Amino acid sequence: MFVDEVVITVQAGDGGDGCVSFHREKYVAAGGPDGGDGGKGGDVVFLVDDNLNTLVDFRYKRKYAAMRGADGGPKNSSGKGAEDLIIRVPRGTVVSELSSGRIIADMSGDEPVIIAKGGRGGRGNARFATPTRQIPKFAKPGFKGQRLELKLELRLLADVGLVGFPNVGKSTLISVVSSAKPKIANYHFTTLSPVLGVVRVGDGESFVMADIPGLIEGASDGVGLGHEFLRHIQRCRLIVHVVDVSGSEGRDPIEDFKIINGELKSFSEELSAAPQIVAANKCDLAAPEQLERFEEFITSKGYSLFKISAATTQGTRELVLKAGELLKGLPPIKTFETAGLPEWNPSELSDDKSFEITCDNGVYAVEADWLEGIIRMCDPEDYESLQHLQLVLKSSGIIDRLEELGVRDGDTVAVCGLEFDYIS
């Protein structure tokens, strides 16, 4: 099954929590805090694998999560960082953020690309010791890893793209000029997915040709099958427009040419301006006057015309040599400009710092996902730890909101399950 577009979710690993610990040793009365930092969460890394040629594996698994960093330990032991999650994709995969459409990476090279960054480990209580706070009984939780919803699009890397109506002989052409073995039959839409073939021009010279499923009128608006694969032509350096000049399908070759070029232009102005040569296929079956009329039209438009018969290989060698000659003067295969990773603040406080406060039977309940890590690391028996929590509640606006709702001294406030009496 050929799949060239999927949506997946990636989650980088969270950082490990810092440790609350105090040095314990015989004959050492007050060893002081020695809690270590948590380890870094694993990144999500994409890597090109040339053994893959479709995104079908992502159709069945859509969520990918890296491992969490290890928690810090006593004796200033830092937690172990988690291993990165390596996701292998076919060469030519374009990775973009689903919500904004910004391109994060174009997987055309061999270098691995970090797609989502793991969270930094939380600091242990040894980090919070000061001359005035010598026994801190709190530590920091690990930072959250980056989470992204991604769109993966496979855009084949080919030097030459074959375009044209269904059943004009594109599959036959690629089968005789390369080692590719596409399905060939006398009916429309025989080719259901792009086919790549390596075309040998001479000693040490070759190029990659792609057979794109047949286009029909309205393809750029989603009609037929070819519209799903127009994106694969975007990278091609040269387009070979195959036209059936025999009229075996009852169509006018000139109209066919105009329609396909119109669809290319509707899909992309840049694509319509790409270098193009025309292959007049089935010329051995065409009436001389019809072939002459088509040749006059094509040459008047400034295109090079090659009269070929793919079935008998007539003219195919000349077409291949011309394509190889033109490719020498053309720019390399197009790569898409990337914007990199979206801005991301790995702070333990969420960017929006959203929270919800409800009052039920005199108990003010505060719910906020970003507070859970802080509450987890808070020691209710330690004054300094509670003082740190109060500072967070004040800076985030929760205290002000409680006062707006009418909280009074002695009222019960529950923050993510931790209950305490409110004191102004």
**Would you list which residues are annotated within the binding site for GTP?**
164-171, 189-193, 211-214, 281-284, 309-311
Question: For the purposes of burial, counting CB atoms within 10 Å of the CB of 309, is it exposed (0-12), middle (13-18) or buried (19 or more)?
Answer: buried
In angstroms, the CA 188 to CA 209 distance is 21
- At which residue do the structure tokens 């992309």 appear? 268
Binding-site positions for Mg(2+): 171, 191
Annotated binding site: 164-171, 189-193, 211-214, 281-284, 309-311
Please return the burial class of 257, using the count of CB atoms within 10 Å of its CB with bins 0-12, 13-18 and 19+. Answer: buried
Residue 168 is encoded by which pair of tokens? 């004009």
Helix, strand, or coil (residue 370)? helix
CA-based torsion, 22, 23, 29, 32: positive or negative: negative
Contacts of 374 by beta carbon, 8 Å cutoff, 6+ apart: 141, 348, 389, 392
Contact between residue 275 and residue 233 where contact means Cβ atoms under 8 Å apart: no
Residue 184, burial from CB neighbour count under 10 angstroms (0-12, 13-18, 19+): middle
- Measured from the Cβ of residue 378, the count of other Cβ atoms closer than 10 Å reads 21
128 DSSP 8-state letter = G
Q: Cα–Cα distance between 22 and 403 in angstroms, integer?
A: 38
DSSP one-letter string for 319-364: HHHHHHHHHHTSPPPP------SPP----SS-SS---EEEEETTEE
Query: The tokens of 200 are what?
Result: 């040998």
Count of C-beta atoms within a 10 Å radius of residue 13: 29
Joined tokens for residue 332? 């390399």
Q: Which two tokens stand for residue 107?
A: 């997987």
| Contact between 349 and 370 (Cβ < 8 Å) | yes
